[in-house]
Structure 1
Amino acid sequence: MRVIVEHAELTVVAGRERDFVAVFEKAREVLAEADGFRWTELLRCEERPRTYLLLVGWESVEAHTVGFRESERFQRWRALVGPFFAEPPSVEHFRLLGDRFAG
Structure 2
Amino acid sequence: MVVEYIRYTVTDAARRQELVAAYKEARASLDAAPECLAYELTECEEDEISAVLRIEWISTEAHMQGFRKGPHFSSFFKAIGGFVKEITEMRHYTLTEIHHRK
Equivalent in the alignment of 1:54: 53
Equivalent-residue separation in structure 2 for 1:74 and 1:84 (angstroms)? 15
How many correspondences in the alignment? 100
Contact residue 4 and residue 57 of structure 1 kept, 8 A: yes
Shift of 1:65: 1.2
What is the RMSD of the two structures over their aligned residues, measured on CA atoms?
2.1
Q: TM-score, normalised by structure 1?
A: 0.79
- Corresponding position of 1:5: 3
Per-residue CA deviation, residues 54-81 of structure 1 (Å, 9 max, x unaligned), is: 1000111111111111224222111111
What is aligned with 2:70?
A: 71
Aligned pairs (5 A) from 1:75-94? 75-88=74-87, 90-94=89-93
Q: TM-score, normalised by structure 2?
A: 0.80
Deviation per CA, 1:36-68, whole angstroms, max 9, x where unpaired?
210001111234323211100011111111111
Structure (1/2) with the larger helix percentage: 2
Instruction: After superposition, give the CA deviation of every residue in 1:21-42 in whole Å (9 maximum; x if it has no partner).
Output: 1231221121121122100011
Cα 1:13–1:76 change in 2 (3 A) is farther
Question: Which blocks of at least 5 consecutive residues in structure 2 are unaligned?
Answer: none
Q: Percent identity?
A: 31
